Chain A
Amino acid sequence: MGLLTKEHFDSIGTAEPSIEVEISRREIQKYAAATEQQQPKYIQGDEAPPMFIFNLFSPITALADMRVDGLARGNATGPKLPLKRIMAGGTQINQHKLINPGDRLTGIRKITDMYEKQGSTGPLIFTVRSLAITNAQGELVLEEIQTSIAR
């Protein structure tokens, strides 16, 4: 295969700029409605369910910088991938503290691994990113390890 270059492997370990987010009750409520949460604390927005953080620490991209597939152009760390069709591959979450409205959280994401596999329809590139979320006191709130698959 050999689709990944030295430049790709060199990007492993490079952190993206940190992103700060203030947690909003209304955003939790929207997420809870969309995911059909059943617990009142989520429905009322008193607490965020753990998967609420998905995509929360991605940059907000201008419309002019969106690709034709609807994904942001050049928004991730590292060189462009030679395969462009992206799918979610899976996630691991370790939650240390609850997330509540009014929290000011900082997320730092970095690539921790890249590798190739041969799929049934062609080559696949796996990119593993870690996200560390801390609160205003600098305490670790949540860690996420996310795998995306380019095909």
Chain B
Amino acid sequence: MSTALTEEIGTGINLAMLSVGSELPQRRHTATNVSLFMYNAAVWNAHRIHYDETYTIGVEGHPAIVIDGPLQGDWLSQVALNWAGAQGRVMNFSYTNRKASYLGEVLTSGGNVTTVDLKNRLVEIRLFIKNEAGEVVTPGTATVSFS
């Protein structure tokens, strides 16, 4: 389940008012067995570390079911997509799965502005997924082009 933590998404970005450090809306994500089943079914991924706890712990040596790295990548991309809304286009984004996250962890996605290029109407963003300890488990970046 995901919950918005800060302002609503999407509309009314004034590029001239943006500054380096401006924060993007944050969202809290709590994966469940059901949500991981739905995600892995949607992307046709049968890797047992995402649904078979006995196998995941006993054979692969993880402490619990693993939250998919690409699912975190999607949550991270949504930070930029939802912030840009209809005004902007996310031209590129990237992320690194730095540390595994496990079922039961509450993750928070968010980001902030790192560059504002008014001439070319481009904004660079730093993105993150953090765990409850405040560690960035999935850092990322995105470039948004505004019309």
Task: Give the interface of A toward B (CB within 8 A).
Answer: 27, 30-31, 33-39, 49-51, 54-56, 58, 60, 66, 69-71, 85-95, 147
Contacts and interface: CB of A to CB of B under 8 A. Distances in A.
Contacts of A85: 60
Contact of A90 (B45, B66, B69, B100): B69
A111 to B, nearest CB: 18
In the A-B complex, the 5 residue pairs with the smallest Cβ-Cβ separation, listed nearest first, are: A88-B69, A92-B94, A34-B38, A90-B96, A70-B46
B73 A51 contact: yes
Contacts, number: 107
Contacts of A49: 74, 77-78, 81
Contacts of A66: 46
Interface in B83-117: 85, 90-97, 100
By size class, the interface of chain B is 35 or more
Given A55-B45, A70-B48, A89 B69 contact: yes
B2 A95 contact: no
A101 B49 CA distance: 31
A28 B94 CA distance: 21
Contacts of B41: 30, 34
Nearest to B140: A90
Contacts of A37: 78
Looking at chain B's contact residues, is the secondary structure mostly helix, strand, loop, or mixed? mixed
A112 to B, nearest CB: 15
A87 to B, nearest CB: 7
A87 B46 contact: no
A99 to B, nearest CB: 13
B124 interface: no
A39 B10 CA distance: 9
A49 B95 CA distance: 16
